[in-house]
Amino acid sequence: QQAGEQPQPASFVPSETLMSPGYAGQFFQPASNSDYYSQSPYIDSFDEEPPLLEELGIHFDHIWQKTWTMLNPMKPADGSIMNETDLTGPILFCIALGATLLLAGKVQFGYVYGMSAIGCLVIHALLNLMSSSGVSYGCVASVLGYCLLPMVILSGCAMFFSLQGTFGTVSSLVIIGWCSLSASKIFIAALHMEGQQLLVAYPCALLYGLFALLTIF
C-alpha cells in the first residue's frame, strides 16, 4: 500500500443486522420522570411570581380608592394614597379629556399634555416651598391627574350642547371648585398642612381653570 493512501471508510451495516433476533441487548428508551418536574425549583418560582399588572404597578383597587376619594370632596382623604406614584389613572383621564374634546370638534391633545406637565411642575414647586416634608413630582402628577375626572365630565357635556352661556359658566365654576377642593384635600392630608387648604386650592383652581377654558372655547 502507498503511504498517501486514504483509509477506507467503514462498511455500511444494514439495519436488519442490528435488529437480528440473536441480539440480547436492550435499546435505550428515555422515560419522563414526574418526580423531577415536581421537585424542580423553576416550577415553584413561576408559581410564586406576582401577576403582570402588579409587577407593572397597576392596582385596580388603588385606582378605585383614589377615584372615589376624589369624587367625594367632603370625604376625609387618606394621606397614604399619595405616597404611591400611580400614573395609570391620570394618563387614562388625560386621554379621555382629549378624546371628548376631539369628539366636540377640538383637537387639543397637545395643550392637554403640555398644560398638565407644566402645571404639575408649578404645583410641585409650590408644595415643596409650603411644606416641611418634600413631595415627589410623580405623586403630584398622580393626584392632579386623578382630580381631572370632573373636567372629563364637563368635556363630555360639551359634546351635546354648547357651554358658552350662563349654564356653561356656572357648570365650569362648579367643576373647577370640585377639582381644586379634591386635590387640595389630598395634598393637605398627605403633607400635614392643616389650615392651608385654601392656599393650596387656589393654584390648583388656576390650573383646572385653564382646562375649563379649553373645554368651553
How many beta carbons lie within 10 A of that of residue 65, not counting itself?
13
Confidence tier at 39 by pLDDT (50, 70, 90): low
Confidence of residue 73 (pLDDT cuts 50, 70, 90): confident
pLDDT band at 113 (very low <50, low <70, confident <90, very high): very high
Of 66, 62, 87, 63, the C-alpha closest to 75 is 66
Higher confidence at residue 144 or residue 73?
144
More confident residue, 17 or 110: 110
What are the distances in angstroms from CA 103 to CA 89, 97, 107, 214?
Answer: 21, 10, 9, 13
The pLDDT value given to residue 2: 47
How high is the pLDDT of residue 210? Answer: 95
Grid coordinates standing for 203? 393654584
Q: 9 pLDDT exceeds 60?
A: no
Q: Give whole-number Cα distances, 45 to 33, 49, 54, 75, 179, in Å.
A: 20, 6, 16, 42, 45
**Mean per-residue pLDDT for 5-31?**
53
Q: Convert the pLDDT of each residue in 115-172 to its tens digit.
A: 999 999 999 999 999 988 888 898 899 999 999 999 999 999 999 988 989 999 999 9
Distance, CA of 53 to CA of 48 (rounded, Å): 15
Radius of gyration over every alpha carbon of the chain, rounded to an integer in angstroms: 33
78 — pLDDT class (breaks 50, 70, 90): confident
Identify the residue with better confidence: 71 or 211. Answer: 211
pLDDT at 21: 56
Question: To the nearest whole percent, how much of the chain has pLDDT over 90?
Answer: 43
Residue 196 to residue 127: CA distance in whole angstroms: 11
Nearest alpha carbon to residue 81 among 208, 166, 210, 191: 191
Q: What is the pLDDT of residue 116?
A: 94
| pLDDT level of residue 83 (50, 70, 90 thresholds) | low
Listed residue (168, 122, 120, 125) closest to 148, CA to CA = 120
**Residue 1 confidence (pLDDT):** 46
Cα distance between residue 146 and residue 67, in whole Å: 6
Domain boundaries, the chain: 86-216
With a threshold of 0.85, does the pTM exceed it? no
Mean pLDDT, the chain, as a whole number?
A: 80
Contacting residues for 212 by C-beta, under 8 A, at least 6 apart: 151, 154, 172, 175, 176
Handedness of CA 72, 70, 205, 134 (dihedral sign): positive
Cell of 164: 358658552
Higher per-residue confidence, 47 vs 174: 174
What are 45-70's pLDDT values in tens digits? 556 666 766 666 666 777 787 788 78
Question: Residue 9: which residues within 8 A CB-CB, separation 6 or more?
Answer: none
